Amino acid sequence: MPEELVDIVDDDDHVITTVTRREMRANRLQHRGVGVAVMSTDGRLLAHRRSAVKDVWPGWWDIAAGGVVLAGETYDQAARRELAEELGVVGAELEYIGSGRFVDDNIAELCRGYRVVHDGPFTFDDGEVVEVRWVTFAELEQMRSAHPFLPDSITLLLPLLLKKFSD
């Protein structure tokens, strides 16, 4: 299988070059990313645990299906692809909820956040997700005290969700 290509972007989201995913990770180059929060019709959030083979934060919990936007792909296309790959959700209506920039010792990304309402079932055919759990926002806070969560999702997406969808 050919290695994935990723567009590297400046702070204004303009493509400056295209590299392999491996080069992007090795040099912590700024790229585009997406995160899709899945909420149930009763307002709970789907949390999932990443597999041990992920290239960053293996085995950590996350509040969004998502990942790297591939070269030439739009944010919306990437969000739909990631949702289908990680959770088996196809055809759900994406709701854009906000954007932001996240930088730490592992990644540098411009990210767009989305929400979908979907009650399942979920499938994990690509092996990126190993476990899911429905949680309220209060239960999420309890989980966060006991388990590591992806910092980009918590920093960028969680405040948007809390502002728009918490009771």
Q: pLDDT tens across 85-138, in order?
A: 999 999 999 999 999 999 999 899 999 999 999 999 999 887 889 999 999 999
For the chain, the first-to-last Cα distance in angstroms comes to 45
Three-state SS string over 14-29 comes to: CEEEEEEHHHHHHCCC
Provide mean pLDDT across the span 27-42. Answer: 97
Query: How many helices and strands in the chain, by DSSP H and E?
Result: 5, 9
The whole-angstrom separation of Cα 80 and Cα 88 is 10
Strands 129-135 and 45-50: antiparallel
In this prediction, residue 125 carries a pLDDT of 80
> Residues 20-33: what's their mean pLDDT?
97
28 Rama class: left (phi>0) / alpha (psi -120 to 50) / beta: left
Pick 2 or 50 by higher pLDDT. 50
How far CA 7 is from CA of 65, 103, 152, in Å, comes to 20, 17, 19
Whole-model pTM: value is 0.93
In three-state secondary structure terms, 93 is: coil
Q: Extract the runs of DSSP E, i.e. beta strands, from 21-142.
A: 31-39, 45-50, 61-62, 65-68, 95-103, 108-117, 129-135
